[in-house]
Amino acid sequence: MSGDAILDLMSWVALAAGSVFCIIGAVGLIRMPDFYSRIHAGGIIDTMGAGLVLFGLVLHAGLTLVAVKLILLFLFSLIAGPTAVHALAKAAFHSGMKPLTGPGGKDRSN
């Protein structure tokens, strides 16, 4: 196998794995019982999903300015994503939404 083919294969593996993580995150969004626990499932899409898809695209782009832009894109989303999630969670908490607690998230706490 030539170097190009190996790189191509790695890039497709990364793209496929990233897509799988996105799907698992989406399944988690549906399965989780309340708002706060759904946030955690969304976190998978933000980090591993987007990260692996962008990593796959970087391998496709090679050592070009496009790759630099993709990496910067990922860094910006890593800063902006959690900030937005924190704003959401804080807003929900302050408007009086109580998180479910206990095993399985069955108890409606405090």
Partner 1 sequence: MKYICSLGVVLMGTWLLWSGHFEPLLISLGVLSVALVVALTHRMDVIDHEGAPVDVSFRLFSYLPWLAWQVIIANLQVVRVILSPSLPINPRMIDVRATQKRELGHVIYANSITMTPGTVSVEVGGNTISVHALTDEAAEGLETGEMDRRVTRLEGIR
Which lies closer to partner 1 via its Cβ, residue 33 or residue 62?
33
Question: DSSP label at 95?
Answer: T
∠ Cα 11 66 45 (to 5°): 55
Q: How far is the CB of 57 from partner 1 (least distance, A)?
A: 17
Nearer to partner 1, 8 or 48 (CB): 48
CB 34 within 8 A of CB 99: yes
The residue among 8 and 10 lying less far from partner 1, judged by its C-beta, is 10
Footprint on this chain of partner 1 (rule: CB under 8 A)? 21, 24-25, 27-28, 31-34, 36-37, 39-41, 43-44, 46-48, 65, 68-69, 72, 78-79, 81-83, 85-86, 89-90, 93, 99-105
Closest contact distance (angstroms) between CB of 59 and partner 1 is: 17
Task: Give CA separation, 9 vs 21, 41, 43, 55, in Å.
Answer: 18, 28, 27, 13
Q: Which residues contact 87 (CB under 8 A, 6 or more apart)?
A: none
